[in-house]
Amino acid sequence: MPATSLDQIVALAKRRGFIFPSSEIYGGLQGVYDYGPLGVELKNNIIADWWRTNVYERDDMEGLDAAILMNRLVWKYSGHEETFNDPLVDCRVCKMRWRADHIHGVCPNCGSRDLTEPRPFNMMFRTQIGPVADSGSFAYLRPETAQGIFVNFANVLTTTARKLPFGIAQVGKAFRNEINPRNFLFRVREFEQMEIEYFVMPGADEEWHQRWLESRLAWWEQIGIPRSRITIYDVPADELAHYSKRTFDLMYDYPNIGVQEIEGIANRTDYDLGSHSKDQDQLNLTARVNRNEDSIARLTYFDQASGRHVVPYVIEPSAGVGRAMLAVLCEGYAEELTKALPADKLAVVGEALQSFLKSVGRSEKISAEARDAILARGEELGQALAERLPEVEQLLAMPGVDQIEVGKKLRGQAQPLIDEHYRTVLRLKPRLAPIKAAVFPLKRNHDQLVATAKEVRRRLQLGGDMRTVYDDTGAIGKLYRRQDEIGTPFCITVDFDTIGQGKDPALAETVTVRDRDTMAQERVPIAELEAYLREKLRA
């Protein structure tokens, strides 16, 4: 079962080093996160998989890496200066600011309905260019990577001699001054996008829009988000972005956040190339564009069949890396019972939970809001304690619980039972796993076991693409649990048989390989280990 609460993912991400709040030692920066040692690996693997699928495995795609800073005129003619706005309201009582379409007329902070009229708030960040700060010396941090592709259309076309249809792929940072960044990686102010602008003959756009929809759904499935978990939202006309003729939003059901966009697939028509072109009157544009007096180029394509210059239509699949990573973590997350729970010990935890909740109900040290939240969560848990015992950890991490003395008793009763009977496992697709294999010596104070394990690790790492780690910081069971939790598909143990000092001489030069998902163990000759793992990692 995927994650049932975003808290599970936030806690795991922090505990194991996937994601940290930005500048945490100075109190953080709202809506900005850093990717830790495992997060950067997972993020890079998602991006690499997207690039491999959309650039290398097709014969109609090119790549690009355009700069984040661009001439300000790009954002004038793209329409962003005028229209990239969210509706902002102020609460007149508590002075907080909100996005009007997120709050249904009630201030989420103080409950007041005394709000100002919504006014447009432009979400682009500005930065100064050069040493003199005057009204003309600023640039924007790009709010989408797409425009870097449109303004390079002619460069790519002339240097690659592509014929329509073809596309340009780009992965890079985008920045949006979101009014209320929230929900962990879901809505942030600095994020990465994986965008494709796919150029087609006008008239072929609708067919290509459908094809890209199918192709993108297949990719999500490939990285572990089943088709059944994605809803397609055919965006109604009154919600479409200013450039779009039709958009399919792919929606994923994030725990706590709900069904939300993970990727948009838009038909941008000839809006963008037309907007950035000179001589617009001569281009037979179908989109309504602002008159462009500044561009020095016609962004057209010469169609040999008709002998005419046309402005291609564009299909744009655009996905956020952070939202992809969050979905992959949620989908892969599981807390599993590994052996049956003894009824008597469970009953003791049940009693400890009840007395904890009683104590919460009586406590005057915590706010009414925190108390109600703890009670609601605790009672829900108590209804199905056998299935959800590990969630006691999240209950005890809720704001206010540190004021409840008997919380410690509950933890003392629950934790050993959780440790012994459950495991947290991230069932990531092996291709995405931050670490592909971990190698352990059966004993860390045995020179030959240690040296052999380190040599096995070194050899697996030689290929360069299979991140492998060595670990001897605990008993084997504990090391397995740690790797399960971060999604490592294979754990390899070097034991006395490996070094020819075991009971069975036939097992010399072999190791035990344990599978993350089945927990089954297999004996594999060291000489065949790399090929064995590669075969399985292809999945």
Query: Using the rule CB under 6 A, is 193 a contact of ligand GAP?
Result: yes
The 264-293 contact track toward ligand GAP, x by CB under 6 A, reads x-----------------------------
User: Does residue 188 have a known ligand-binding role?
Assistant: yes
Closest separation in Å from C-beta 195 to ligand GAP: 6
Question: What is the spatial distance between Cα 78 and Cα 359, in angstroms, rounded to a whole number?
Answer: 59
β-bridge partners, 120: 87
Among 261, 303, 393, 530, binds ligand GAP (CB under 6 A): 261
Residues 162, 155: contact at Cβ < 8 Å?
no
Using the contact rule CB under 6 A, the part of the chain among 159-167, 232-240, 260-268, 306-314 near ligand GAP is 260-268
> What single DSSP character describes residue 54?
I
Q: Is 99 annotated as a binding residue?
A: yes
CA angle 374, 378, 384 (to 5 degrees): 160
Residue sitting closest to ligand GAP (CB): 320
Query: Applying CB under 6 A, which of residues 46, 146, 366, 513 lies at the interface with ligand GAP?
Result: 146
Q: How far is CA 341 from CA 352, 416, 417, 485, in A?
A: 16, 11, 8, 21
Q: How far is CA 151 from CA 71, 148, 156, 297, in A?
A: 10, 6, 10, 9
Cα dihedral 481/482/484/490 (nearest 10)? -100
Span between the terminal Cα atoms of the chain, in Å: 20
Q: Which stretch binds ligand GAP (CB under 6 A): 19-27, 90-98, 262-270, 364-372?
A: 262-270
Asked if residue 386 lies in contact with residue 346, where contact means CB atoms within 8 angstroms, the answer is yes
Q: What residues from 292 to 321 belong to the interface with ligand GAP (CB under 6 A)?
A: 316, 318-320
Ligand-binding site membership of 522 (annotated)? no
- 322: annotated binding-site residue? yes
User: In terms of CB distance, is 187 or 209 closer to ligand GAP?
Assistant: 187
User: Shortest approach of ligand GAP to residue 24 CB, angstroms?
Assistant: 19
Tell me which of 98, 153, 191, 271 binds ligand GAP, using CB under 6 A.
Answer: 191
Q: Is 41 in the site for ligand GAP (CB under 6 A)?
A: no
Q: Per CB under 6 A, which of residues 165..184 are in contact with ligand GAP?
A: 176, 178
Question: Please, are residues 252 and 230 in contact by the beta-carbon 8 Å criterion?
Answer: yes
Distance CA 531, CA 539 (A): 14
CA distance 360 to 404: 7
Place of tokens 């682009």: 124
Region binding ligand GAP by CB under 6 A among candidate stretches 190-198, 218-226, 382-390, 466-474: 190-198
In the shown chain, the binding pattern of residues 458 to 497 toward ligand GAP, with x for contact by CB under 6 A and - for none, equals ----------------------------------------
Give which of 270, 349, 348 is closest to 315, Cα–Cα: 270
Q: Which of 7, 41, 195, 335 binds ligand GAP (CB under 6 A)?
A: 195
Residue type, 471: D
Whether 184 and 321 have beta carbons less than 8 Å apart is answered as no
Site string for ligand GAP, 407-446 (x = CB under 6 A): ----------------------------------------
Phi, psi of 402 (to 5 degrees): -60, -15
Residue spans of alpha helices (H) in 66-164: 72-77, 80-83, 100-103, 146-150, 153-160
Interaction mask 319-358, ligand GAP, x per CB under 6 A: xx-xx-----------------------------------
Instruction: Return the bridge partners of 379, or none.
Output: none
Nearer to ligand GAP, 222 or 461 (CB): 222
Check the annotation: does 316 bind a ligand. Answer: yes
Contact between residue 482 and residue 516 where contact means Cβ atoms under 8 Å apart: no
Binding site as annotated, residues for ATP: 176-178, 186-191, 261-262, 320-323
Residues lying near ligand GAP in the complex (CB under 6 A) are found at 144, 146, 176, 178, 187-188, 191, 193, 195, 261-264, 316, 318-320, 322-323
Binding residues: 99, 144, 176-178, 186-195, 261-262, 316-323
